[in-house]
Amino acid sequence: MARPLLSSDGTVVVPPMEAVWLSGAEWELHGGRGCLSFEVKGDNDATVLLKQQSGSRRWQHMAVGSPGGGAAARAAAAAAAAAAAAGGRAAGGAAVAGGAAPAAAPAAVGRASPVEQNYTVILGSHRNSCLKFEKDGELCCMVANAPGARLSSNTFRKYWLNYDNGSISIGMGEPGENLVYCWTDPDPIESIRFAGLSAWDKHVGYRYLRMHPVLHPPPSSPPPKQERASQQAWPPGEPDRSQLTAAGPASAAQQQQAQQASAVPSLLHCCQAALGSSLATGTVCDVLQVADCLDPVVDGLRSQAIEFVAQHFAAVVAADPSGFCDLSTTCLVQVLCNESLDCPEKAVFDAVMKWAGYGSEVVDAASACHPMQDLDQLLPCIRFPLMLDGELEAVRRHAMCQRSGLLQELLHEALEARREEQASGGLSHKAVQARRGAVSMQDQRHVRALTASERLASTRFQARRAPGCTELLYMFDGDKNGVCWHLGTGGGTQPWVNPVLAGRLQVRASSPACRSTDPKALVGAGFARCNFAGPRMEDGQLSSWWVLDLGPQHQLICNHYTLRHDASTDFLRSWVLQGSNDGASWADLRRHISDGTIRMPGQYASWAVTSHAAAVPYRFFRLLLVGPNPEAANRYHMCLSYWEMYGYLYTRPAASTAVGKAPAAPAAVGAAAAEGTPSPRVL
**Are residue 121 and residue 16 in the same domain, yes or no?**
yes
Res 433 pLDDT > 60: no
Domain with 612 in it: what CATH number? 2.60.120.260
Of 210, 226, 256, which residue is a domain's last?
256
Structure confidence by residue, pLDDT tens digits, 372-424: 888 999 999 999 988 888 899 999 999 888 888 999 999 998 888 888 877 76
Domain with 35 in it: what CATH number? 2.60.120.560
- Residue-range definition of the domain harbouring residue 663: 470-675
**Are residue 107 and residue 122 in the same domain, yes or no?**
no
Answer yes or no: is 465 within a domain: no
With the CA atoms of 102, 104, 106 and 108 taken in that order, what torsion angle do they form, in degrees rounded to the nearest 10? -150
Of 111, 141, 176, which residue is a domain's last?
111
**Are residue 577 and residue 670 in the same domain, yes or no?**
yes
More confident residue, 403 or 114: 403
Q: How many domains does the chain have?
A: 4
Structure confidence by residue, pLDDT tens digits, 496-533: 999 999 999 999 999 999 999 999 999 998 999 999 99
Structure confidence by residue, pLDDT tens digits, 622-650: 999 999 888 767 889 999 999 999 999 99
**Are residue 586 and residue 641 in the same domain, yes or no?**
yes
**Are residue 341 and residue 475 in the same domain, yes or no?**
no
Answer yes or no: is 464 within a domain: no
Q: How many CB atoms lie within 10 A of CB 659?
A: 6
**Are residue 186 and residue 286 in the same domain, yes or no?**
no
Angle between helices 267-277 and 299-311 (to 10 degrees): 0
Closest CA to 350 of 338, 340, 358, 341: 358
**Are residue 439 and residue 543 in the same domain, yes or no?**
no
**Are residue 36 and residue 91 in the same domain, yes or no?**
no
Res 304 pLDDT > 50: yes
Res 30 pLDDT > 60: yes
Q: Mean pLDDT over residues 415-437, rounded?
A: 63
Res 138 pLDDT > 60: yes
Q: What pLDDT band is residue 683 in, cutting at 50, 70 and 90?
A: very low
SS (H, E, C) 623-639: EEECCCCCCCCCCCCEE
Tell me the whole-structure pTM to 2 decimals: 0.74
Answer yes or no: is 38 within a domain: yes
The partner residues of 638 in beta bridges, in order of sequence, read 533
Structure confidence by residue, pLDDT tens digits, 552-562: 999 999 999 99
> 296 preceded by cis ω (within 30°)?
yes
Res 78 pLDDT > 70: no
Residue 580 near residue 587, CB atoms below 8 Å: yes
Answer yes or no: is 238 within a domain: yes
**Are residue 105 and residue 202 in the same domain, yes or no?**
no
Answer yes or no: is 547 within a domain: yes
Res 72 pLDDT > 50: no
Of 186, 221, 256, which residue is a domain's last?
256
**Are residue 146 and residue 162 in the same domain, yes or no?**
yes
**Are residue 288 and residue 407 in the same domain, yes or no?**
yes
Answer yes or no: is 261 within a domain: no
Check residue 62 and report its DSSP letter. B
pLDDT value of position 430: 53
Answer yes or no: is 681 within a domain: no
pLDDT value of position 1: 55
**Are residue 522 and residue 663 in the same domain, yes or no?**
yes
Q: What pLDDT band is residue 368 in, cutting at 50, 70 and 90?
A: low
pLDDT value of position 393: 92
pLDDT value of position 48: 95
Answer yes or no: is 631 within a domain: yes
